[in-house]
Structure 1
Amino acid sequence: MKLTNMVYQGANGRNSQIDFEAPDSFEYTDIVVFIHGYKGYKDWGAWNLVQQYFVSNGMGFCKFNMSHNGGTVDEGIDFPDLEAFSLNRYTYEVEDLKHALDWLEQKVDLKNKRIHLIGHSRGGGIAILSAKDPRVSSVTTWASISDIGTRFPKGETLDNWREKGFYTVRNSRTEQDMPHQFVLYEDWLENKDELDIEKCARNIKVPTFHIHGDADDSVSITESEALGLWTEGKLIIINKANHTFNTYQPYTEEEMPNKLHEACVLTFQFIENQEKGE
Protein backbone atom coordinates (compact mmCIF):
# COMPACT_ATOMS: atom_id res chain seq x y z
CA MET A 1 0.00 0.00 0.00
CA LYS A 2 1.32 3.43 -0.92
CA LEU A 3 -0.75 6.58 -0.46
CA THR A 4 0.85 9.87 -1.53
CA ASN A 5 -0.42 13.44 -1.17
CA MET A 6 -3.66 12.32 0.41
CA VAL A 7 -5.69 14.80 2.44
CA TYR A 8 -6.39 14.86 6.16
CA GLN A 9 -8.26 17.54 8.08
CA GLY A 10 -6.01 19.19 10.61
CA ALA A 11 -6.36 21.95 13.19
CA ASN A 12 -9.09 24.54 12.77
CA GLY A 13 -10.60 22.41 9.99
CA ARG A 14 -7.77 23.13 7.56
CA ASN A 15 -6.86 20.36 5.13
CA SER A 16 -3.27 19.34 4.45
CA GLN A 17 -1.24 16.60 2.76
CA ILE A 18 -0.39 13.21 4.22
CA ASP A 19 1.44 10.07 3.00
CA PHE A 20 1.42 6.45 4.10
CA GLU A 21 3.39 3.50 2.78
CA ALA A 22 3.49 -0.07 4.02
CA PRO A 23 5.76 -2.94 2.96
CA ASP A 24 3.99 -5.15 0.42
CA SER A 25 5.89 -8.38 0.76
CA PHE A 26 5.28 -9.30 4.39
CA GLU A 27 3.27 -8.56 7.49
CA TYR A 28 4.45 -5.62 9.56
CA THR A 29 3.77 -4.58 13.12
CA ASP A 30 5.53 -1.21 13.43
CA ILE A 31 4.56 2.13 11.89
CA VAL A 32 6.78 5.21 11.99
CA VAL A 33 5.02 8.58 12.03
CA PHE A 34 7.42 11.36 11.04
CA ILE A 35 6.87 14.94 12.25
CA HIS A 36 8.64 17.73 10.39
CA GLY A 37 10.01 20.86 12.00
CA TYR A 38 9.72 24.64 11.71
CA LYS A 39 9.68 25.88 8.10
CA GLY A 40 9.53 22.23 7.08
CA TYR A 41 7.25 19.84 5.24
CA LYS A 42 6.96 16.12 4.59
CA ASP A 43 8.87 16.17 1.28
CA TRP A 44 11.69 18.47 2.43
CA GLY A 45 15.25 17.35 1.69
CA ALA A 46 15.74 13.59 1.93
CA TRP A 47 12.67 12.81 4.05
CA ASN A 48 11.31 10.67 1.19
CA LEU A 49 14.48 8.59 1.36
CA VAL A 50 13.92 8.21 5.09
CA GLN A 51 10.50 6.79 4.23
CA GLN A 52 12.07 4.37 1.76
CA TYR A 53 14.57 3.22 4.38
CA PHE A 54 11.98 2.26 6.97
CA VAL A 55 9.58 0.67 4.49
CA SER A 56 12.36 -1.38 2.90
CA ASN A 57 13.22 -2.59 6.40
CA GLY A 58 9.71 -3.83 7.06
CA MET A 59 7.95 -0.91 8.75
CA GLY A 60 5.02 1.23 7.74
CA PHE A 61 5.75 4.93 7.38
CA CYS A 62 3.49 7.98 7.62
CA LYS A 63 4.50 11.60 7.15
CA PHE A 64 2.36 14.68 6.83
CA ASN A 65 2.39 18.44 6.50
CA MET A 66 1.29 20.47 9.48
CA SER A 67 -1.99 22.13 8.55
CA HIS A 68 -0.63 25.66 8.90
CA ASN A 69 2.94 25.09 7.68
CA GLY A 70 2.38 27.30 4.63
CA GLY A 71 1.59 24.52 2.17
CA THR A 72 -1.72 23.66 0.55
CA VAL A 73 -3.42 20.42 -0.52
CA ASP A 74 -2.42 21.23 -4.11
CA GLU A 75 1.13 22.44 -3.40
CA GLY A 76 2.93 20.97 -0.43
CA ILE A 77 6.42 22.11 -1.43
CA ASP A 78 7.69 25.37 0.05
CA PHE A 79 5.16 27.95 1.20
CA PRO A 80 2.45 29.15 -1.20
CA ASP A 81 0.08 30.14 1.64
CA LEU A 82 1.90 32.51 3.97
CA GLU A 83 -1.40 33.67 5.48
CA ALA A 84 -1.98 30.16 6.84
CA PHE A 85 1.64 30.07 8.03
CA SER A 86 1.11 33.34 9.89
CA LEU A 87 -1.79 31.83 11.83
CA ASN A 88 0.08 28.73 13.00
CA ARG A 89 0.53 28.01 16.70
CA TYR A 90 1.96 25.18 18.77
CA THR A 91 -1.42 23.87 19.90
CA TYR A 92 -2.37 23.54 16.22
CA GLU A 93 0.64 21.28 15.65
CA VAL A 94 -0.23 19.05 18.61
CA GLU A 95 -3.76 18.83 17.22
CA ASP A 96 -2.45 18.12 13.71
CA LEU A 97 -0.55 15.07 14.93
CA LYS A 98 -3.68 13.74 16.62
CA HIS A 99 -5.68 14.21 13.41
CA ALA A 100 -2.92 12.54 11.37
CA LEU A 101 -3.10 9.53 13.69
CA ASP A 102 -6.89 9.55 13.32
CA TRP A 103 -6.48 9.50 9.52
CA LEU A 104 -3.99 6.65 9.78
CA GLU A 105 -6.39 4.71 11.98
CA GLN A 106 -9.00 4.95 9.22
CA LYS A 107 -6.58 3.52 6.66
CA VAL A 108 -4.91 0.80 8.73
CA ASP A 109 -6.11 -1.55 11.45
CA LEU A 110 -3.93 -0.38 14.33
CA LYS A 111 -5.12 -3.06 16.73
CA ASN A 112 -1.93 -5.12 16.32
CA LYS A 113 0.35 -2.27 15.28
CA ARG A 114 2.80 -0.11 17.23
CA ILE A 115 3.13 3.60 16.45
CA HIS A 116 6.61 5.13 16.76
CA LEU A 117 6.93 8.90 16.53
CA ILE A 118 10.04 10.47 15.00
CA GLY A 119 10.09 14.23 15.44
CA HIS A 120 12.70 16.48 13.85
CA SER A 121 13.58 19.79 15.52
CA ARG A 122 10.30 21.48 16.55
CA GLY A 123 8.61 18.23 15.55
CA GLY A 124 10.54 16.51 18.33
CA GLY A 125 8.91 18.81 20.85
CA ILE A 126 5.50 18.04 19.35
CA ALA A 127 6.26 14.31 19.65
CA ILE A 128 7.08 14.66 23.35
CA LEU A 129 3.92 16.70 23.95
CA SER A 130 1.89 14.01 22.16
CA ALA A 131 3.44 10.92 23.74
CA LYS A 132 0.49 10.50 26.11
CA ASP A 133 -1.72 9.46 23.17
CA PRO A 134 -2.51 5.78 23.89
CA ARG A 135 -1.72 4.86 20.29
CA VAL A 136 1.94 5.88 20.69
CA SER A 137 4.47 3.16 21.59
CA SER A 138 7.73 5.11 21.47
CA VAL A 139 9.24 8.52 20.69
CA THR A 140 12.50 9.32 18.90
CA THR A 141 13.66 12.92 18.63
CA TRP A 142 16.09 14.18 15.99
CA ALA A 143 17.83 17.48 16.84
CA SER A 144 14.85 18.40 18.98
CA ILE A 145 13.90 21.51 20.85
CA SER A 146 13.29 21.11 24.59
CA ASP A 147 11.46 24.35 25.33
CA ILE A 148 9.00 26.64 23.58
CA GLY A 149 9.02 29.82 25.66
CA THR A 150 12.70 30.62 25.04
CA ARG A 151 12.07 30.75 21.28
CA PHE A 152 9.96 33.90 21.43
CA PRO A 153 11.31 37.44 21.05
CA LYS A 154 12.08 39.34 24.25
CA GLY A 155 11.96 42.94 25.42
CA GLU A 156 11.54 45.62 22.79
CA THR A 157 11.22 43.09 19.97
CA LEU A 158 8.33 41.43 21.80
CA ASP A 159 6.72 44.81 22.43
CA ASN A 160 6.99 45.68 18.75
CA TRP A 161 5.47 42.34 17.81
CA ARG A 162 2.56 42.98 20.17
CA GLU A 163 2.07 46.49 18.80
CA LYS A 164 2.28 45.61 15.10
CA GLY A 165 0.49 42.27 15.44
CA PHE A 166 3.09 40.39 13.41
CA TYR A 167 6.78 39.96 12.71
CA THR A 168 8.55 38.22 9.83
CA VAL A 169 11.34 35.69 9.55
CA ARG A 170 13.40 35.64 6.36
CA ASN A 171 13.67 32.36 4.50
CA SER A 172 16.96 32.79 2.66
CA ARG A 173 16.38 29.79 0.39
CA THR A 174 12.92 30.77 -0.88
CA GLU A 175 13.52 34.51 -0.37
CA GLN A 176 10.22 34.82 1.45
CA ASP A 177 9.50 36.97 4.49
CA MET A 178 7.49 34.51 6.55
CA PRO A 179 5.05 36.20 8.95
CA HIS A 180 4.04 35.25 12.46
CA GLN A 181 0.92 36.85 13.89
CA PHE A 182 0.94 37.68 17.60
CA VAL A 183 -1.62 34.92 18.15
CA LEU A 184 1.33 32.50 18.18
CA TYR A 185 2.58 34.05 21.41
CA GLU A 186 -0.91 34.48 22.89
CA ASP A 187 -1.63 30.81 22.24
CA TRP A 188 1.51 29.85 24.14
CA LEU A 189 0.58 32.12 27.08
CA GLU A 190 -2.88 30.56 27.24
CA ASN A 191 -1.62 26.98 26.99
CA LYS A 192 1.71 27.02 28.86
CA ASP A 193 0.85 23.94 30.90
CA GLU A 194 -0.22 21.88 27.89
CA LEU A 195 2.85 23.05 25.96
CA ASP A 196 5.37 22.38 28.75
CA ILE A 197 7.83 20.02 27.07
CA GLU A 198 9.83 19.44 30.26
CA LYS A 199 6.75 18.45 32.25
CA CYS A 200 5.58 16.08 29.52
CA ALA A 201 9.09 14.62 29.16
CA ARG A 202 9.41 13.98 32.89
CA ASN A 203 6.05 12.18 32.89
CA ILE A 204 6.47 10.23 29.68
CA LYS A 205 5.38 6.59 29.85
CA VAL A 206 6.82 5.23 26.59
CA PRO A 207 10.45 4.49 25.63
CA THR A 208 12.34 7.44 24.22
CA PHE A 209 15.51 7.93 22.19
CA HIS A 210 17.29 11.15 21.26
CA ILE A 211 19.74 11.89 18.43
CA HIS A 212 21.62 15.14 17.80
CA GLY A 213 24.47 16.23 15.56
CA ASP A 214 27.55 17.88 17.04
CA ALA A 215 27.62 20.39 14.13
CA ASP A 216 24.06 21.60 14.69
CA ASP A 217 24.04 25.40 14.53
CA SER A 218 20.25 25.73 14.82
CA VAL A 219 19.37 23.82 18.00
CA SER A 220 21.90 23.28 20.77
CA ILE A 221 22.89 19.76 21.81
CA THR A 222 22.06 20.85 25.36
CA GLU A 223 18.36 20.64 24.42
CA SER A 224 18.63 16.94 23.55
CA GLU A 225 20.75 16.45 26.66
CA ALA A 226 17.89 17.90 28.70
CA LEU A 227 15.36 15.66 26.98
CA GLY A 228 17.52 12.62 27.66
CA LEU A 229 17.72 13.55 31.34
CA TRP A 230 14.00 14.26 31.70
CA THR A 231 12.79 11.18 29.82
CA GLU A 232 15.60 8.88 31.02
CA GLY A 233 16.06 8.03 27.34
CA LYS A 234 19.35 7.32 25.61
CA LEU A 235 21.07 10.17 23.75
CA ILE A 236 23.49 9.62 20.87
CA ILE A 237 25.55 12.43 19.34
CA ILE A 238 26.41 11.99 15.66
CA ASN A 239 29.81 13.37 14.74
CA LYS A 240 29.90 16.05 12.01
CA ALA A 241 26.10 16.02 11.56
CA ASN A 242 24.33 19.36 11.21
CA HIS A 243 20.75 20.23 12.17
CA THR A 244 19.25 18.25 9.28
CA PHE A 245 21.85 15.46 9.40
CA ASN A 246 23.45 16.91 6.28
CA THR A 247 20.41 16.79 4.01
CA TYR A 248 19.15 19.96 2.33
CA GLN A 249 16.44 21.27 0.02
CA PRO A 250 16.26 20.53 -2.83
CA TYR A 251 17.94 17.16 -2.43
CA THR A 252 18.34 15.26 -5.72
CA GLU A 253 20.77 12.48 -4.79
CA GLU A 254 19.59 8.87 -4.97
CA GLU A 255 21.11 7.99 -1.59
CA MET A 256 20.58 9.91 1.63
CA PRO A 257 23.56 11.57 3.35
CA ASN A 258 25.64 9.23 5.52
CA LYS A 259 24.78 11.11 8.72
CA LEU A 260 21.04 10.91 8.02
CA HIS A 261 21.43 7.21 7.24
CA GLU A 262 23.19 6.79 10.59
CA ALA A 263 20.23 8.45 12.34
CA CYS A 264 17.85 6.10 10.52
CA VAL A 265 19.83 3.00 11.44
CA LEU A 266 20.06 4.01 15.10
CA THR A 267 16.32 4.76 15.20
CA PHE A 268 15.46 1.46 13.50
CA GLN A 269 17.55 -0.43 16.04
CA PHE A 270 15.83 1.41 18.89
CA ILE A 271 12.39 0.52 17.52
CA GLU A 272 13.40 -3.11 16.94
CA ASN A 273 14.60 -3.34 20.53
CA GLN A 274 11.11 -2.43 21.74
CA GLU A 275 9.89 -5.73 20.32
CA LYS A 276 12.48 -7.55 22.41
CA GLY A 277 11.56 -5.58 25.51
CA GLU A 278 15.02 -4.01 25.76
Structure 2
Amino acid sequence: MSSSTITKESGSVSSNEGLPIYYDCYLPPNSGAEPLPVVIFLHGFKGFKDWGAFPEACAAISEAGFAVAAMNFSLNGVGESMTEFDQLDLFARETLSQDLEDVRSMISAIHNEQVFPAGSSVDTGSIGLLGHSRGGHTAVAAAAEYAEVASVVTWSAVADYNARWSEDMISDWENKGVTEIMNGRTGQVMPVKDVVYKDALENADRLMAVKRARELTIPALFIHSKGDEAASYDNAEQLYRNCASDHKDLKLIEDSGHTFDTAHPFDEDEFPEAFQQALDYTTAWFQKHLQ
Protein backbone atom coordinates (compact mmCIF):
# COMPACT_ATOMS: atom_id res chain seq x y z
CA MET A 1 0.00 0.00 0.00
CA SER A 2 1.87 3.03 -1.31
CA SER A 3 0.50 6.43 -2.26
CA SER A 4 3.38 8.78 -1.56
CA THR A 5 3.57 9.87 -5.21
CA ILE A 6 -0.11 10.78 -5.47
CA THR A 7 -1.32 14.38 -5.53
CA LYS A 8 -4.48 14.89 -3.47
CA GLU A 9 -6.58 18.04 -3.47
CA SER A 10 -9.94 18.79 -1.89
CA GLY A 11 -12.83 21.07 -2.71
CA SER A 12 -16.56 21.21 -3.28
CA VAL A 13 -19.03 21.73 -6.09
CA SER A 14 -22.66 22.78 -5.73
CA SER A 15 -25.56 20.38 -5.81
CA ASN A 16 -28.72 21.31 -7.69
CA GLU A 17 -29.99 22.58 -4.31
CA GLY A 18 -26.91 24.74 -3.83
CA LEU A 19 -25.45 22.55 -1.10
CA PRO A 20 -21.77 21.56 -1.16
CA ILE A 21 -20.72 18.22 -2.60
CA TYR A 22 -17.35 17.81 -0.92
CA TYR A 23 -14.74 15.85 -2.83
CA ASP A 24 -11.13 14.75 -2.86
CA CYS A 25 -9.34 14.31 -6.16
CA TYR A 26 -6.31 12.10 -6.64
CA LEU A 27 -3.80 12.34 -9.48
CA PRO A 28 -0.73 10.24 -10.27
CA PRO A 29 2.61 11.81 -11.29
CA ASN A 30 2.82 13.38 -14.76
CA SER A 31 -0.93 13.90 -14.84
CA GLY A 32 -0.53 16.68 -17.36
CA ALA A 33 0.70 14.32 -20.07
CA GLU A 34 -1.71 11.82 -21.62
CA PRO A 35 -5.38 12.34 -20.67
CA LEU A 36 -6.29 10.16 -17.69
CA PRO A 37 -9.54 8.20 -17.46
CA VAL A 38 -11.68 9.25 -14.51
CA VAL A 39 -13.06 7.14 -11.65
CA ILE A 40 -15.71 8.61 -9.34
CA PHE A 41 -16.07 6.94 -5.94
CA LEU A 42 -19.47 6.83 -4.20
CA HIS A 43 -19.77 5.99 -0.49
CA GLY A 44 -22.66 4.14 1.11
CA PHE A 45 -25.38 4.75 3.70
CA LYS A 46 -24.00 6.19 6.94
CA GLY A 47 -20.74 6.55 5.01
CA PHE A 48 -18.48 9.29 3.71
CA LYS A 49 -15.49 9.61 1.40
CA ASP A 50 -13.02 9.64 4.30
CA TRP A 51 -14.36 6.48 5.92
CA GLY A 52 -11.83 3.81 6.82
CA ALA A 53 -9.59 2.67 3.98
CA PHE A 54 -11.49 4.50 1.23
CA PRO A 55 -8.94 7.34 0.84
CA GLU A 56 -6.03 4.90 0.61
CA ALA A 57 -8.00 2.82 -1.91
CA CYS A 58 -8.68 5.88 -4.06
CA ALA A 59 -4.98 6.75 -3.97
CA ALA A 60 -4.10 3.20 -5.02
CA ILE A 61 -6.51 3.35 -7.96
CA SER A 62 -5.02 6.68 -8.98
CA GLU A 63 -1.51 5.18 -8.86
CA ALA A 64 -2.69 2.66 -11.45
CA GLY A 65 -3.21 5.50 -13.91
CA PHE A 66 -6.51 7.19 -13.11
CA ALA A 67 -7.82 10.58 -12.07
CA VAL A 68 -10.01 9.72 -9.07
CA ALA A 69 -12.72 11.88 -7.52
CA ALA A 70 -14.19 10.67 -4.20
CA MET A 71 -17.35 12.56 -3.32
CA ASN A 72 -19.63 13.04 -0.33
CA PHE A 73 -23.29 13.10 -1.22
CA SER A 74 -24.71 16.51 -0.40
CA LEU A 75 -27.24 15.11 2.09
CA ASN A 76 -25.08 12.45 3.73
CA GLY A 77 -25.07 14.33 7.03
CA VAL A 78 -21.32 14.98 7.20
CA GLY A 79 -20.30 18.62 7.04
CA GLU A 80 -16.99 20.42 7.00
CA SER A 81 -15.54 18.07 9.63
CA MET A 82 -15.53 15.42 6.85
CA THR A 83 -15.84 12.62 9.43
CA GLU A 84 -18.66 13.53 11.84
CA PHE A 85 -22.42 13.27 11.33
CA ASP A 86 -23.12 16.85 12.36
CA GLN A 87 -25.89 17.59 9.83
CA LEU A 88 -28.60 15.11 10.76
CA ASP A 89 -31.28 17.44 9.35
CA LEU A 90 -29.78 16.80 5.90
CA PHE A 91 -29.21 13.10 6.52
CA ALA A 92 -32.90 12.74 7.40
CA ARG A 93 -33.94 13.63 3.86
CA GLU A 94 -31.18 11.99 1.80
CA THR A 95 -33.18 10.47 -1.03
CA LEU A 96 -31.88 8.17 -3.71
CA SER A 97 -33.06 10.74 -6.26
CA GLN A 98 -30.85 13.41 -4.71
CA ASP A 99 -27.86 11.05 -4.64
CA LEU A 100 -28.40 10.42 -8.35
CA GLU A 101 -28.58 14.16 -9.01
CA ASP A 102 -25.33 14.65 -7.07
CA VAL A 103 -23.58 12.22 -9.40
CA ARG A 104 -24.87 14.28 -12.32
CA SER A 105 -23.51 17.44 -10.68
CA MET A 106 -20.09 15.84 -10.18
CA ILE A 107 -19.92 14.60 -13.78
CA SER A 108 -20.87 18.08 -15.02
CA ALA A 109 -18.25 19.72 -12.78
CA ILE A 110 -15.56 17.37 -14.11
CA HIS A 111 -16.58 18.19 -17.68
CA ASN A 112 -16.43 21.90 -16.83
CA GLU A 113 -12.90 21.51 -15.37
CA GLN A 114 -14.04 22.47 -11.87
CA VAL A 115 -12.70 19.42 -10.01
CA PHE A 116 -9.19 18.47 -11.03
CA PRO A 117 -6.35 21.03 -10.72
CA ALA A 118 -5.51 23.32 -13.61
CA GLY A 119 -2.95 21.73 -15.90
CA SER A 120 -4.07 18.17 -15.27
CA SER A 121 -5.35 16.26 -18.26
CA VAL A 122 -8.40 14.05 -17.81
CA ASP A 123 -10.42 12.09 -20.35
CA THR A 124 -14.02 13.10 -19.71
CA GLY A 125 -15.13 10.62 -22.36
CA SER A 126 -13.88 7.77 -20.18
CA ILE A 127 -15.57 7.91 -16.77
CA GLY A 128 -15.96 4.94 -14.44
CA LEU A 129 -18.11 4.71 -11.32
CA LEU A 130 -17.12 2.78 -8.20
CA GLY A 131 -19.73 2.54 -5.46
CA HIS A 132 -19.88 0.84 -2.07
CA SER A 133 -23.14 -0.51 -0.61
CA ARG A 134 -25.88 2.10 -1.20
CA GLY A 135 -23.29 3.94 -3.29
CA GLY A 136 -23.06 0.83 -5.46
CA HIS A 137 -26.85 0.86 -5.82
CA THR A 138 -26.65 4.49 -6.96
CA ALA A 139 -23.66 3.74 -9.23
CA VAL A 140 -25.73 1.23 -11.20
CA ALA A 141 -28.63 3.67 -11.59
CA ALA A 142 -26.23 6.45 -12.59
CA ALA A 143 -24.45 4.22 -15.09
CA ALA A 144 -27.79 3.55 -16.77
CA GLU A 145 -28.85 7.20 -16.53
CA TYR A 146 -25.77 9.10 -17.70
CA ALA A 147 -24.20 8.47 -21.09
CA GLU A 148 -20.83 9.78 -19.88
CA VAL A 149 -20.31 6.66 -17.75
CA ALA A 150 -18.24 4.06 -19.60
CA SER A 151 -17.85 1.38 -16.88
CA VAL A 152 -19.14 0.59 -13.40
CA VAL A 153 -17.84 -1.44 -10.45
CA THR A 154 -19.78 -2.13 -7.25
CA TRP A 155 -18.52 -3.16 -3.82
CA SER A 156 -21.07 -4.86 -1.55
CA ALA A 157 -23.90 -3.19 -3.47
CA VAL A 158 -27.56 -3.30 -2.54
CA ALA A 159 -29.66 -4.57 -5.44
CA ASP A 160 -33.12 -3.28 -4.47
CA TYR A 161 -33.42 -0.66 -1.75
CA ASN A 162 -37.18 -1.06 -1.56
CA ALA A 163 -36.63 -4.63 -0.34
CA ARG A 164 -34.65 -3.32 2.67
CA TRP A 165 -37.31 -1.30 4.46
CA SER A 166 -38.46 -3.16 7.58
CA GLU A 167 -42.08 -3.34 8.73
CA ASP A 168 -41.20 -1.17 11.74
CA MET A 169 -39.63 1.49 9.52
CA ILE A 170 -42.65 1.56 7.22
CA SER A 171 -45.00 1.78 10.22
CA ASP A 172 -42.99 4.70 11.62
CA TRP A 173 -43.12 6.53 8.30
CA GLU A 174 -46.84 5.97 7.87
CA ASN A 175 -47.73 6.96 11.44
CA LYS A 176 -45.07 9.49 12.46
CA GLY A 177 -43.45 10.62 9.21
CA VAL A 178 -40.00 9.67 10.49
CA THR A 179 -38.12 6.60 11.68
CA GLU A 180 -34.90 6.37 13.64
CA ILE A 181 -31.85 4.19 13.08
CA MET A 182 -28.85 3.61 15.28
CA ASN A 183 -25.33 4.27 14.10
CA GLY A 184 -23.54 1.36 15.72
CA ARG A 185 -20.13 2.99 15.34
CA THR A 186 -20.94 6.42 16.82
CA GLY A 187 -23.96 5.58 18.99
CA GLN A 188 -25.97 8.33 17.33
CA VAL A 189 -29.70 7.99 16.79
CA MET A 190 -30.24 9.14 13.21
CA PRO A 191 -33.63 10.22 11.81
CA VAL A 192 -34.84 9.19 8.36
CA LYS A 193 -37.93 11.01 7.11
CA ASP A 194 -40.72 9.51 5.05
CA VAL A 195 -39.61 11.50 1.99
CA VAL A 196 -36.80 8.94 1.60
CA TYR A 197 -39.28 6.05 1.52
CA LYS A 198 -41.79 7.82 -0.71
CA ASP A 199 -39.10 8.82 -3.19
CA ALA A 200 -37.84 5.26 -3.48
CA LEU A 201 -41.34 3.88 -4.05
CA GLU A 202 -42.59 6.55 -6.44
CA ASN A 203 -39.43 6.53 -8.56
CA ALA A 204 -38.55 2.85 -8.30
CA ASP A 205 -38.16 2.33 -12.05
CA ARG A 206 -35.51 5.05 -12.15
CA LEU A 207 -33.83 4.40 -8.82
CA MET A 208 -33.73 0.67 -8.09
CA ALA A 209 -30.41 -0.80 -9.19
CA VAL A 210 -31.86 -4.21 -10.01
CA LYS A 211 -34.21 -2.53 -12.50
CA ARG A 212 -31.61 -0.20 -14.03
CA ALA A 213 -29.13 -3.05 -14.46
CA ARG A 214 -31.36 -4.29 -17.28
CA GLU A 215 -30.41 -1.15 -19.22
CA LEU A 216 -26.65 -1.47 -18.78
CA THR A 217 -24.65 -2.08 -21.93
CA ILE A 218 -21.31 -0.87 -20.54
CA PRO A 219 -18.76 -3.12 -18.78
CA ALA A 220 -19.99 -3.88 -15.25
CA LEU A 221 -18.26 -5.71 -12.39
CA PHE A 222 -20.03 -6.73 -9.18
CA ILE A 223 -17.79 -7.53 -6.19
CA HIS A 224 -19.20 -8.90 -2.94
CA SER A 225 -18.17 -10.84 0.13
CA LYS A 226 -19.81 -14.17 0.86
CA GLY A 227 -19.65 -13.19 4.53
CA ASP A 228 -21.37 -9.80 4.13
CA GLU A 229 -23.48 -9.29 7.24
CA ALA A 230 -25.20 -6.09 6.04
CA ALA A 231 -26.12 -6.92 2.44
CA SER A 232 -25.95 -10.60 1.52
CA TYR A 233 -24.06 -11.60 -1.60
CA ASP A 234 -27.27 -12.56 -3.40
CA ASN A 235 -27.57 -8.79 -4.03
CA ALA A 236 -24.54 -9.01 -6.33
CA GLU A 237 -25.92 -12.16 -7.93
CA GLN A 238 -29.20 -10.36 -8.67
CA LEU A 239 -27.38 -7.41 -10.23
CA TYR A 240 -25.20 -9.72 -12.30
CA ARG A 241 -28.17 -11.76 -13.54
CA ASN A 242 -30.17 -8.67 -14.46
CA CYS A 243 -27.27 -6.80 -16.06
CA ALA A 244 -27.78 -6.62 -19.82
CA SER A 245 -24.14 -5.95 -20.67
CA ASP A 246 -22.13 -8.39 -22.78
CA HIS A 247 -19.13 -7.40 -20.64
CA LYS A 248 -20.00 -8.25 -17.05
CA ASP A 249 -18.47 -10.24 -14.24
CA LEU A 250 -19.24 -11.33 -10.67
CA LYS A 251 -16.49 -11.71 -8.07
CA LEU A 252 -17.40 -13.26 -4.71
CA ILE A 253 -14.76 -12.96 -1.98
CA GLU A 254 -14.65 -15.51 0.82
CA ASP A 255 -14.73 -14.82 4.55
CA SER A 256 -14.97 -11.06 4.87
CA GLY A 257 -17.64 -8.56 5.84
CA HIS A 258 -19.49 -5.64 4.30
CA THR A 259 -16.31 -3.54 4.10
CA PHE A 260 -13.93 -6.39 3.23
CA ASP A 261 -12.42 -6.56 6.74
CA THR A 262 -11.68 -2.83 7.03
CA ALA A 263 -12.99 -0.50 9.74
CA HIS A 264 -13.03 3.17 10.65
CA PRO A 265 -10.60 4.57 11.49
CA PHE A 266 -8.13 2.67 9.33
CA ASP A 267 -4.56 2.88 10.51
CA GLU A 268 -3.00 -0.33 9.20
CA ASP A 269 0.18 -0.46 7.14
CA GLU A 270 -1.38 -2.89 4.66
CA PHE A 271 -4.87 -3.56 3.40
CA PRO A 272 -6.58 -6.71 4.68
CA GLU A 273 -6.38 -9.53 2.15
CA ALA A 274 -10.07 -9.32 1.21
CA PHE A 275 -9.95 -5.56 0.67
CA GLN A 276 -6.79 -5.87 -1.41
CA GLN A 277 -8.49 -8.53 -3.50
CA ALA A 278 -11.49 -6.26 -4.15
CA LEU A 279 -9.14 -3.41 -5.00
CA ASP A 280 -7.10 -5.57 -7.39
CA TYR A 281 -10.25 -6.74 -9.19
CA THR A 282 -11.41 -3.13 -9.47
CA THR A 283 -8.15 -1.72 -10.77
CA ALA A 284 -7.75 -4.50 -13.34
CA TRP A 285 -11.33 -3.98 -14.53
CA PHE A 286 -10.93 -0.25 -15.03
CA GLN A 287 -7.53 -0.73 -16.70
CA LYS A 288 -9.15 -3.10 -19.17
CA HIS A 289 -12.29 -1.08 -19.87
CA LEU A 290 -11.31 2.58 -19.35
CA GLN A 291 -7.64 2.92 -20.26
Q: Name the TM-score class by shorter chain.
A: over 0.9
Residue among 78, 88, 102 paired with 2:84 = 78
Counterpart for residue 176 of structure 1: 188
Residue 82 (structure 1) shift: 0.7
Q: Distance in 2 between matches of 1:234 and 1:121?
A: 17
Q: Distance in 2 between matches of 1:157 and 1:168?
A: 8
Residue among 93, 103, 110 paired with 1:97 = 103
Residue among 217, 233, 237 paired with 1:225 = 237
SS in structure 2 at match of 1:225: helix
The question of whether the paired residues in 2 share the 8 Å contact of 1:28 and 1:60 is answered with no
The question of whether the paired residues in 1 share the 8 Å contact of 2:126 and 2:148 is answered with yes
Residue 199 (structure 1) shift: 2.4
Counterpart for residue 19 of structure 2: 14
Counterpart for residue 148 of structure 2: 135
Q: Distance in 2 between matches of 1:263 and 1:157?
A: 32
Counterpart of 2:110 in structure 1: which amino acid? L
Which deviates more from structure 2 when the two are superposed, residues 213-222 or residues 10-19?
10-19
SS in structure 2 at match of 1:163: helix
Residue 3 (structure 1) shift: 5.0
The question of whether the paired residues in 2 share the 8 Å contact of 1:16 and 1:71 is answered with no
The question of whether the paired residues in 1 share the 8 Å contact of 2:137 and 2:159 is answered with yes
Residue among 29, 32, 36 paired with 2:36 = 29
Q: Distance in 2 between matches of 1:227 and 1:102?
A: 27
Q: Distance in 2 between matches of 1:110 and 1:60?
A: 7
Counterpart for residue 262 of structure 2: 247
Alpha-carbon distance change, 18 to 123 in structure 1, aligned in 2, over 3 angstroms: same
Residue 240 (structure 1) shift: 1.5
Counterpart of 2:107 in structure 1: which amino acid? L
Counterpart for residue 269 of structure 1: 284
Residue 106 (structure 1) shift: 2.5
Q: Distance in 2 between matches of 1:182 and 1:78?
A: 23
Matches within 5 A, 1:110-149: 111=123, 113-132=125-144, 133-149=146-162
Q: Distance in 2 between matches of 1:67 and 1:175?
A: 22
Q: Distance in 1 between matches of 2:220 and 2:106?
A: 21
The question of whether the paired residues in 1 share the 8 Å contact of 2:126 and 2:149 is answered with yes
Q: Distance in 1 between matches of 2:16 and 2:219?
A: 27
Alpha-carbon distance change, 240 to 6 in structure 1, aligned in 2, over 3 angstroms: same
Which deviates more from structure 2 when the two are superposed, residues 247-256 or residues 63-72?
247-256
Identity %: 30
Q: Distance in 2 between matches of 1:260 and 1:24?
A: 25
Counterpart of 1:90 in structure 2: which amino acid? L
Gaps of 5+ in 1: none
SS in structure 1 at match of 2:83: coil
Residue 19 (structure 1) shift: 1.2
Q: Distance in 1 between matches of 2:36 and 2:150?
A: 11
SS in structure 2 at match of 1:13: coil
Residue 113 (structure 1) shift: 4.6
Gaps of 5+ in 2: 1-5
Counterpart for residue 3 of structure 2: none
Counterpart for residue 50 of structure 1: 57
Residue 11 (structure 1) shift: 4.5
Q: Which string of whole-angstrom CA distances, capped at 9 and with x for unpartnered residues, describes residues 116-143 of structure 1?
A: 1111111111011011312111001111
The question of whether the paired residues in 2 share the 8 Å contact of 1:44 and 1:250 is answered with yes
The question of whether the paired residues in 1 share the 8 Å contact of 2:53 and 2:266 is answered with yes
Tell me whether 1:234 sits opposite 2:239 in the alignment: no
Residue 172 (structure 1) shift: 1.8
Counterpart of 1:43 in structure 2: which amino acid? D
Alpha-carbon distance change, 218 to 8 in structure 1, aligned in 2, over 3 angstroms: same
Q: Distance in 2 between matches of 1:112 and 1:164?
A: 45
State the number of aligned residues: 274
Counterpart of 2:63 in structure 1: which amino acid? S
Residue 179 (structure 1) shift: 0.5
